Amino acid sequence: MLKVPAGTVDHLSARIGDVEDMWQYGVLSHLNAHALGNGLMPGERLQDAVARLLTAM
């Protein structure tokens, strides 16, 4: 089993399917257990979450 952090972007925060808009304005709405275990939280900006995951590597 892979332990991959994953989540979704809230459709009210960004246009789904528009990668640039999701990156600029996206807010996480749902996360799997691995994402939660890495300290990510619903309501957090996508950019902030990705930056934190990359610095933790």
Contact residues for 36 (Cβ-Cβ < 8 A; gap 6+): none
Q: For position 57, what pLDDT does the model report?
A: 72
Please name every residue paired with 30 in a beta bridge, in sequence order, or none if there are none: 8
Domain extents for the chain? 7-56
pLDDT for 44 beyond 80:
yes
* Average pLDDT for 34-54: 95
Q: Which two tokens stand for residue 1?
A: 């089993």
- Quick one: pLDDT band at residue 27, thresholds 50, 70, 90? very high
Q: For position 1, what pLDDT does the model report?
A: 80
Q: For position 11, what pLDDT does the model report?
A: 96
